[in-house]
Structure 1
Amino acid sequence: MKTQNTFPVLRSDRLVLREMRETDLELLTEYLGDYDVAKMLCSPPHPFSLEDGQQYLMRALSGDLNDEIHWAIEHEGQFCGCFKANYLNSYPGIGYWLGKPHWGKGFMSEAMRLVLTYLFQHRGLKTLQTGAFCCNPASLRVLQKAGFTIKKLRTNTCNARGGEELEEAFLMISSEQFSAAIDVDLPLEDKGLLQ
């Protein structure tokens, strides 16, 4: 796997995936404070306080780029949500969320393509894994559209639901599956996706 020393900013026609900033804190806290967002994620508590947001932001900004990357998803200069890639040196995985005002606009499919293209083509990863609660069909559609396949069902805890155990799909994708799903054949630099 290739190493990364500078933050990888990714761009599409509508989105910029950039390093998180302290100015994201207000919207980050508002969006993760929305129960409809938090109930589809494992970690965030509900209610989600400003202090929780500060801790989230601090973790995102302190990661080693060779093992963990936290992107802010931005549309027209506004923070919309987050996308992370973690455990890049062991069992690489992804996680993501969008604030409710940005649902249903295709942003996550667009961000997914940017991140997977970066991870597979620039970083040289061979496989990625993730999980999505089975009660979140929108997330499962985004993952399957990108080429992820469900490997098994399991349970995982949702802190926003008071630690409730929910059924979760465990999904994986290989670089070959991703290329076949979206027909990617050019390096990121040639597509203008990586700066």
Structure 2
Amino acid sequence: MEPFELQGSGLTLNELKPADAPDVARYCADPVFEEFMATPWPYTLADAQSFIEEYAPQAWAEGSEWTWAIREDAHGPLLGVIGIRLPSGMLGYWLGEPHRGRRIMSACVDLVSAAAFERTDIPSVGWEARIGNVGSLRTIERSGFTYTGEAVGKIPGRDGGPIQSWTARLDRPQS
């Protein structure tokens, strides 16, 4: 599948660019990532380059994950990243620390969920986060997801082991 752009709520979701690597590396070095994310730790510029130049393009080509840079305009600086794995419909996202608390991610979740329902036949968009990631939970709740409880997460931890997670889901709108 070819990458496509999404726009709405004053935001543009588009392809990650090699020039985004320093921002990805800087944002992903936030200690919050060590606690709540399964990204490599410590996160390096090489990790960011690999994600941008190898992982994301390959996932788009295979149709296994749609991954976008979050920007305030198409050529603006990177604010964060959002993606959805297919066919599972599992959503993942993060924002750089300076951009949190502005409800940017809620708007992005809405855009990606709508695109997933329009372009695929998935019955729902799923979400999980390590227990304690309150900011991520609030984002999902604002986007109309239904909290479904605690469970062993589908996405393994940094060490490959299971993570106790909060889970939620947004069902396909009835037509």
Q: Which TM bucket (shorter chain)?
A: 0.7 to 0.9
Larger relative CO (CA 8 A, sep 6+): 1 or 2?
A: 1
Instruction: Note the alpha carbon deviations across 1:39-75, whole angstroms, 9 max, x for none.
Output: 221x212211112112222201221363311111112
Amino acid at match of 1:11: Q
Measured in 2, the distance between the counterparts of 1:35 and 1:163 equals: 20
How far, CA to CA, are the matches of 1:142 and 1:111 in structure 2? 10
Q: State whether residues 125 and 175 of structure 1, in contact with CA within 8 Å, keep that contact through their aligned partners in structure 2.
A: yes
1:8/1:18 contact within 8 Å kept: yes
Corresponding residue pairs, total:
169
Q: Structure 2-normalised TM-score? A: 0.85
Q: Indicate the residue corresponding to 1:93 in structure 2.
A: 90
**CA deviation after TM superposition for structure 1 residue 164, in Å:** 8.8
1:40 to 32, 36, 58: 36
List runs of 5+ in structure 2 lacking aligned partners.
none
Residues 6/155 of structure 1: CA separation in 2 closer, same or farther (3 Å cut) = closer
- Report matched runs for 1:80-159 at 5 Å: 80-88=79-87, 91-156=88-153, 158-159=157-158
The code of the aligned residue for 2:170 comes to I
Question: % of aligned pairs identical?
Answer: 24
Provide the residue aligned with 1:188 in structure 2.
none
Match of residue 74, structure 1, among 71, 76, 83: 71
Distance 1:117 1:12 in 2: 11
Q: Aligned with 1:154: secondary structure?
A: strand
Structure 1 distance, partners of 2:121, 2:165, is: 28
What amino acid maps onto 1:70 in structure 2? T
The within-5 A match list for 1:24-39 is 24-39=20-35
> Kindly tell me: are residues 164 and 62 of structure 1, through their superposed partners in 2, closer, same or farther at Cα, counting changes over 3 Å?
closer
CA offsets per residue over residues 89-132 of structure 1, 9 Å max, x none? xx221101111111001110010111111111233432121201
SS in 2 for 1:7: coil
Instruction: Give the 3 Å change call, closer, same or farther, for CA 38–125 of structure 1 in structure 2.
Output: same
Matched, 1:8 2:7: no
Greater C-alpha radius of gyration? 1
| TM-score, normalising length: structure 1 | 0.77
> Structure 1 residues 65 and 112, CA, compared in 2 at 3 Å: closer, same or farther?
farther
Whether the 8 Å CA contact 1:131–1:169 is kept in 2: the answer is yes
